[in-house]
Amino acid sequence: MDLYWSHNIGDEGRAVRKVHPTGQKKLPLVGVFATRSPSRPNPICSTTVELLERKKNILKVKGLDALDGSPIIDIKFHHPSYDAPSNIKWPNWMKELSQYFKKNLI
């Protein structure tokens, strides 16, 4: 897992409190903390990446959703026991969105 600073979101973006997930108006308006929206009050973001290569202090990764130039704050290893709890409850809109991405992006 990688923590990074979302440095390109200005004050206006930080003031956003509710969004339509992935900008889709057909989905309900929900709080930004229920989404992966980059517009959020806290500029610290996280993502899980796959480590492809390490050369001294240079890491080559796959799956980083940060913009180029985003400062990396911390790097943590992914541990399934800690990072993937099994008792998660998702709202229906999130289940639908997840199914959509599985069908259309894989």
CATH number of the domain bearing residue 51: 2.40.30.70
Alpha carbon distance 87, 18 (integer Å) = 25
Alpha carbon distance 37, 18 (integer Å) = 10
Domain that holds residue 86: 2-105
Alpha carbon distance 94, 35 (integer Å) = 9
Neighbour count for residue 21 (Cβ, 10 Å): 20
State pLDDT tens for residues 25-40: 988 999 998 888 878 8
What pairing do the DSSP bridges indicate for beta strands 18-19 and 50-55? unpaired
The total number of structural domains that make up the chain: 1
Q: What is the pTM of this model?
A: 0.64
State pLDDT tens for residues 65-101: 888 888 989 988 888 777 777 788 888 888 888 888 8
Give me 75's structure tokens.
């790097």
